[in-house]
Amino acid sequence: MSQGQITIAVDAMGGENSPFKVVKGTEIFQKKNKFSKIIFFGEEQKIYSTIKENKINLINYEIYNTSENVKDDDNASIILRSRKNSSIYKGLEFVKGNNNTGFVSSGNTAAIMILSRLIIGMIDGIDRPAICSLVPNKKNYSIMLDLGANVTVNPANLLQFALMGYCYFSIINKERKPRIGILNIGTENNKGLEFLQEAYDLITSSFLKNYFIGFIEPNKITSGDCDIIISDGYTGNIMLKSAEGISNFIMSNLKTMFTKSLVNKFVYKVIEKDLVKLKNQVNPDIYNGATLIGLNGISIKSHGNATPLAFSYALKQCNDFITNKLNKQIIDAIKDL
């Protein structure tokens, strides 16, 4: 690997429809990122066959053969004891031993979280990693963390999440001063659980006070008034899955409604452009790729059922974080706390 070249280690076997979605997603990604190298970890012959049979045009890539796959129902004990030659384990080992690299997988979430923390380790000063992802809103998108890595947290964890979210946002939106909020059941200072109120005090005592807008309620997540939404993993995961379910419900009902009659089909044609714009705004493909932020390396979790297009966005996200040195920004920011 040449000095300074960005290399992405990719789990080719994880999730549904792999390795096809992985290699096809890589083809899409490489159309705009020709100089980033891809190393696929997985069953070599199966990957080669998929590329050849589907006439997928790839450049600047290698395949590292692995003999084991992490299964969806593997528990922590099996992952740690019996999956050391899996595509996830070997991909993360590569990232640990090489600079300017990152890891992307659609595989078992528990395996990615456990092995990422074990192999890559944590940034000094960060106690726990958080699952961080983009959430669409009326104006553009917000960052939300944690989305499921930590069921329980303490106030210091939430302060660290706010810090990491601030660094993340500075990479994807350099033009604007971010607004940070804590997800809560009300906006008053005396509302919510004690650890949320203590986190409020910690943030207002740090340099992040210049960006902090206080508590925000769940019904304001899509308003665009808050750029970085902080939560414990239990609440954040429920919030995310509820939002995804409601979005799918609305879009499927709109589709049914506009095909009911000739009049409805005509109405659809009249507002088709606006509906396409709405669909694109909430399209989960372009928000695919949850970052395990706080690790001493870049590890991205793609949806298990991601399409090739969605997987390409996870690769792009990984590439952007390596290019913009996300972890160095977090390390530098910790010094200011």
Same domain, 254 and 143: yes
Same domain, 113 and 209: no
In the chain, the number of structural domains is 2
pLDDT of amino acid 222: 86
pLDDT of amino acid 279: 65
Query: Global pTM?
Result: 0.86
Per-residue pLDDT 10s for the chain (337 aa) are 555 689 999 999 988 898 999 999 999 999 999 899 999 999 999 999 999 999 999 999 999 999 888 887 777 788 888 888 899 999 999 999 998 999 999 988 888 999 999 999 999 999 999 999 888 888 888 999 999 888 899 999 999 999 999 999 988 888 889 999 999 998 887 788 899 999 999 999 999 999 999 999 998 888 889 999 999 999 998 988 887 787 778 777 877 888 888 888 877 788 877 777 766 666 666 667 789 999 999 999 998 888 999 999 999 999 999 999 999 999 988 887 7
pLDDT of amino acid 278: 67
330 within a domain of the structure (yes/no): no
Same domain, 65 and 142: no
Range of the domain at 273: 127-287
Same domain, 16 and 69: yes
pLDDT of amino acid 1: 52
In 204-314, beta strands by DSSP E: 212-216, 228-230, 290-293, 298-301
Same domain, 192 and 218: yes
pLDDT of amino acid 138: 84
Same domain, 104 and 189: no
pLDDT of amino acid 285: 65
pLDDT of amino acid 283: 63
Residue 63: exposure state from Cβ atoms within 10 A (0-12, 13-18, ≥19): buried
In contact, 236 and 182? CB cutoff 8 Å = no
pLDDT of amino acid 135: 86
In contact, 96 and 120? CB cutoff 8 Å = yes
Same domain, 283 and 144: yes
φ, ψ at 9 (rounded to 5°): -85, 125
Same domain, 197 and 70: no
pLDDT of amino acid 284: 62
Residue 222: exposure state from Cβ atoms within 10 A (0-12, 13-18, ≥19): middle
Looking at residue 22, which CATH number applies to its domain?
3.40.718.10
Same domain, 167 and 251: yes
